[in-house]
Chain A
Amino acid sequence: MSTEASSTIARVLKPTILALIAIVAISSRLFSIIRFESVIHEFDPWFNYRTTQHLVKNGFYDFWNWFDEKSWYPLGRVVGGTVYPGIMVTSAIIHNVLHYFNFPVDIRNVCVFLAPMFSGLTSFSAYLLTKELKDSSAGLLAAAFLGVAPGYISRSVAGSYDNEGIAIFLLVFTFYLWIKAVKTGSAFFALWTALFYFYMVSAWGGYVFITNLVPLHAFALLLMGRFSNRLYVSYSTFYAVGTLLSMQIPFVGFQPTRTSEHMAALGVFGLLQLYAFAELIRGYVTPKQFKTLVKTGISAVAAIAVIGLTVLSYSGVIAPFTGRFYSLYDTGYAKIHIPIIASVSEHQPTAWTSFFFDLQMLIFLFPAGVYLCFRELKDEHVFVILYSVFASYFAGVMVRLMLTLTPIVCVAAAIAYSTLLDTYLERADHVLASNLKGPLTRSDETPAASGVTESKPKKSSGKSAAKAQELEAKAAASKGAVGYLSGERKRVPILNWDSRMMVIVQLTWFLFMFAWHCTYVTSGSYSSPSIVLASRQQDGSQMIIDDFREAYYWLRKNTHQDAKVMSWWDYGYQMAGMANVTTLVDNNTWNNTHIATVGKAMASSEEVAYDVLRRHDVDYVLVLFGGVIGYSGDDINKFLWMIRIAEGVYPTEVKESNFFTPRGEYKVDHEASSTMKNSIMYKMSYYRFAELYGGNAVDHVRGVRMPSEGPTLSVLEEAYTSEQWLARIYKVKNLDILGRDLKDATSFEKGRARKTSVIKRK
């Protein structure tokens, strides 16, 4: 086949393959929709969905100035100033464009399908990025890897309407533009880098990763003595424009000039200016004068910088390192100081199984790719190396940051894999020709034993073919056939067809396994919407457990318009989105004291809790109880975190140790401590639970037999319990009309006499 013909085919094939990859990427994210329905998943997406609805309904300016009085009652929340608006604006624009062309798509469907659509774009940008690093065939592999890698799918399945869904596309594309800018030194590409950086800042808090990685790259190049005007132009443009743009997001505001996370970028910007200035000066003075100038200059700048930094940090102009920042570097910090961070499973460190689960074979191809980058080590490869090292550290510290590691793993693994394919598929004459392109005198060194001939690859070759081979190689060289990887050393082609077969067949098999693995993981682990649960019954048929939506819908239809519902913060966003009620705390977790107050109410006895409930105008309390169907993520299992967070703020009123048995166990059966049994969380969870089984109740989550007599409630009354008892809603009683203690009133209604001791005390 001639070169022209193959390049024409390649020109057709590449877009086709990319389109197919995009289709695969999108369709492998649709499991949850096929199994359940087009529904928003989990917790945070419900908030994003609610704000998007607001944006579409009331327009951009109203959204920007929105004060949400339905959350964090009675404090409220300034939504416009505390969100990353990128994802909402993106879906609103898509929605409006579609409507302009008379496609009446519901905003919910736009939101549900946003992340899968962007995953197609992400694989395309992985292609572009890898193409800059190696070649387009590696690019295609990278696109395919990133399209199906579970590490990325975990946050971008259909319905997972979260910032990360579009942020990973922006991350990869911004990096592509940056590489392009450094390579070409064009202000045009640097400007586009800044614009996409702005989009990224508006979309996800993880933009800090770009803010630090790009300056780090520039700094490393500077240290390696690779300062160039290309670097100067691209970095200066990027930093100036990007920082100004990022400050337009109210949530970011003046942080780029103040917080330590952004200081590296500023420092490198200053350093580059000084370096460029020194380079300029060098041309006008004698070397000796230049040396003196540089020495005085460096010491002056260093002195000013040190003094300035100290003064500014002590006077508080520069904010100290924020908690999130600390939890990344000092891993012990979060555990002790911020229980709310420690309580979120996303902030846990990553075990090796998670790495393998999310990336399978890519995880060991990835270091090989990094090694290959070292072999070439152009400016852009330095970037890949830095990205790899830092992202793998961060991913190790926090499970959630697997997401930032996945793109570079796919890119590096694609480089390694495609180099392997190149080595074992490349025709022997090409390799020889590429060697011949060097000093021609070497041609006599071509190995005596021959490899594969061009037309008949399976023919086992004898020594007789050696001459023909040599001639062919020379001919190819004169034709100007170009080989890959022009390394300094002479390369020998793979000489035996069986070695080639061996490697290629196995590699292909590994690819198959990778694809199966990805589908298995996606379908099994990452496609559950978590607000609708599915379980198998004994006869194998599927049972859908829809208790959450059932309970939220009950709240929506049966409570008055501004009823206040208290629950643990995990369910705040869902309740606001689905039940349209006022919540006390939600997943935003900006006010730890307020959360601790809710935790205190849950952990205290009825009398104390009633006081807290009345003060916060609470009408209903919602708890999750999994004891009937064995749902392990229920409130009793989260209860220890509530206690810990409450103890952090109210150390005298809530004590963790009181909730344990004397032997230090966390028990809910008859051995439970009295504080545990008196807490309203315990009471609300197990209220009338024993009756359900006629006194022989077994908690299926904790696997323990419960006491035959369940707890009693006097300040709360059961309002609603969903079908599988997963969600239980209690109404807070009003004050007694006769002015009695609610406890007395309850026992009076039950026909019991008041306790005499109570009378005495009064």
Chain B
Amino acid sequence: MANIISRACVLIAALISLSLLGSLALVATVAEADNAALLEKKLDQLRVQARKNKGIIDMDSNTFEEVMAKPRDFPIVVLFTAISPEFQCVPCKNFDPEYRLVASGSIKKKADSQLFFGILDFKRGQATFQKFGMNSAPSALYFPATESIGSVPQFDRYDFGKYGFQAEEFANWLSARSGVHLSVRRPFDVLAFVLKLLFVLLSGTACYALYARAGKVVRSKYLWAGICLFTIFIMISGHMWNQIRRPPYSMPGQGFVAAGFQNQFGIESQLVAVMYAVLCGAVISLISSVTRIEDAPKQRISVWVWMLIFGFMYSILLQTFRLKNPGYPFRLLF
């Protein structure tokens, strides 16, 4: 009796989902008994495999087709990857342990809320790669439980560019889609901890030794002036923008200056920092080093040279700015 009710439920669910999707495909009403048995068997197999292999189901093209075959009322994630060294896929290698971490956390779940984690390597599943038109790895696809018929099942693709390679992000993404709460528990890395501790201790000792031996250098205001000015130059020439936006260092054929007011190349901001440093150096020299020269002709030459450098550099700076902002009306020497 319960069996009939559950089967009826499945049917109703299928009907509702169909009508929601608006597809007007025919509803198959064949041999549900066979289906249910098949499903049970498939699930059992998958569970055994997952338990054996820390939550991971290794697949090739054939097993993938089997798992994906029509009666599938459970969701599954498949990682399409190319882990073999000959493909030199660095992101695949980076993501692999993270993926396994998420998978291993999922075995402890109860049967009814289980999510399966498959891995399909390019070496063993070229046919499937072709079927999905995939020309880059890794990609993680989430296949929700479905009854619909189609050669390519519906899926959701995990966006590495947007969410990154972290296990936590991936788990969140999956939880949001499957409704199964996945938590990531990273194993405690003793080696890393010891290394960190050693590093802290060593650097502490080094600092102390440096302070004791070379206290004069550490306390020298010129050292600190250098550090501060360097930081300021780096910051006011848009280094943080580079840090956040990660532009190309330079673009062959486009010169050093990127087009567009709110855009820049890595080298461009460094050049600007150098210009600022030269200009600032000219000002400082005009103030302090010139007033130490006691010989009048030498002093004259020094003032003229620094002032020429100043004017010249400022003109270059203005010219660079005009490249970025063509409407800018001011210029100096050229």
Q: A residues within 8 Å of B by Cβ?
A: 331-332, 335-336, 349-357, 361, 363-368, 370-372, 374-375, 377, 385, 388-389, 392-393, 395-397, 416, 419-420, 423-424, 447, 449-451, 489, 491-496, 498-499, 502-503, 506, 510, 513, 516-517, 520, 651-652, 655, 657, 757, 761
B238 near A355 (CB under 8 angstroms)? Answer: yes
Q: Report B156-176 CB contacts with A as 1/0, cut-off 8 Å.
A: 110100111000010001001
Additional A-B contacts beyond A491-B292, A502-B303, A513-B330 (18; CB < 8 A) = A352-B268, A364-B275, A364-B317, A366-B236, A367-B229, A368-B280, A371-B284, A372-B284, A388-B232, A389-B228, A393-B235, A419-B287, A450-B296, A494-B303, A499-B303, A503-B286, A506-B307, A657-B157
Q: Which residue of chain A has its CB nearest to the CB of B311?
A: A506
Determine whether B130 belongs to the interface, using a CB cutoff of 8 Å to chain A. no
- The verdict on A355 contacting B236 (CB below 8 Å), with A364-B276, A392-B231 known, is yes
Residue of B19, B159, B235, B286 near A392 (CB, 8 A) is: B235
A374 near B293 (CB under 8 angstroms)? Answer: no
B284 near A396 (CB under 8 angstroms)? Answer: no
- The verdict on A388 contacting B262 (CB below 8 Å), with A396-B238, A447-B296, A513-B330 known, is no
A492 near B283 (CB under 8 angstroms)? Answer: no
**B 202-245 contacts with A by CB, 8 A:** 221-222, 224-225, 228-229, 231-233, 235-241, 243-245
Q: Which residue of chain B has its CB nearest to the CB of A451?
A: B296
Q: Which residue of chain A has its CB nearest to the CB of B331?
A: A513
Chain B residues whose CB sits within 8 angstroms of the CB of A385 once the complex forms: 228
For this complex, 5 residue pairs linking A to B, each with C-beta atoms less than 8 Å apart, are A353-B238, A447-B294, A447-B296, A494-B299, A503-B286
Pick out which of these stretches binds chain A: B4-12, B40-48, B190-198, B321-329: B321-329
Question: Closest CB of chain B to A150's CB: distance in Å?
Answer: 13
**B 136-195 contacts with A by CB, 8 A:** 156-157, 159, 162-164, 169, 173, 176-177
Q: With a 10 A CB-CB cut-off, give which of B277, B294, B295, B324 has the most chain A CB atoms.
A: B294
6 shortest interchain CB distances as A-B pairs: A396-B240, A352-B238, A449-B296, A499-B303, A392-B235, A364-B279
CA–CA, A470 to B118, complex, Å?
A: 93
B221 near A377 (CB under 8 angstroms)? Answer: yes
Determine whether B29 belongs to the interface, using a CB cutoff of 8 Å to chain A. no
Question: Closest CB of chain B to A674's CB: distance in Å?
Answer: 12
**B 238-257 contacts with A by CB, 8 A:** 238-241, 243-245
Count: A-B pairs, CB below 8 Å:
183
A449 near B284 (CB under 8 angstroms)? Answer: no
CA–CA, A419 to B286, complex, Å?
A: 10
CA–CA, A354 to B224, complex, Å?
A: 27
Question: Closest CB of chain B to A75's CB: distance in Å?
Answer: 24
CA–CA, A499 to B308, complex, Å?
A: 11
Question: Closest CB of chain B to A535's CB: distance in Å?
Answer: 16
Question: Closest CB of chain A to B264's CB: distance in Å?
Answer: 5
Question: Closest CB of chain A to B213's CB: distance in Å?
Answer: 19
- The verdict on A420 contacting B307 (CB below 8 Å), with A364-B276, A366-B236, A374-B224 known, is no
Determine whether B304 belongs to the interface, using a CB cutoff of 8 Å to chain A. yes
CA–CA, A494 to B269, complex, Å?
A: 36
Residue of A367, A395, A447, A449 near B280 (CB, 8 A) is: A367
CA–CA, A374 to B287, complex, Å?
A: 14
CA–CA, A447 to B310, complex, Å?
A: 27
Question: Closest CB of chain A to B226's CB: distance in Å?
Answer: 9
Chain A residues whose CB sits within 8 angstroms of the CB of B261 once the complex forms: 351, 353
Q: With a 10 A CB-CB cut-off, give which of B159, B232, B262, B279 has the most chain A CB atoms.
A: B232
Chain A residues whose CB sits within 8 angstroms of the CB of B176 once the complex forms: 651-652
Q: Which residue of chain B has its CB nearest to the CB of A386?
A: B228
A350 near B295 (CB under 8 angstroms)? Answer: no
Q: Which residue of chain B has its CB nearest to the CB of A509?
A: B332
Chain B residues whose CB sits within 8 angstroms of the CB of A493 once the complex forms: 291
CA–CA, A222 to B328, complex, Å?
A: 47
A499 near B299 (CB under 8 angstroms)? Answer: yes
Chain B residues whose CB sits within 8 angstroms of the CB of A516 once the complex forms: 330
Chain A residues whose CB sits within 8 angstroms of the CB of B233 once the complex forms: 367
Question: Closest CB of chain B to A552's CB: distance in Å?
Answer: 30
Determine whether B263 belongs to the interface, using a CB cutoff of 8 Å to chain A. yes
- The verdict on A351 contacting B241 (CB below 8 Å), with A392-B235, A494-B291, A651-B177 known, is yes
B330 near A396 (CB under 8 angstroms)? Answer: no
Chain A residues whose CB sits within 8 angstroms of the CB of B283 once the complex forms: 364-365, 368, 416, 420
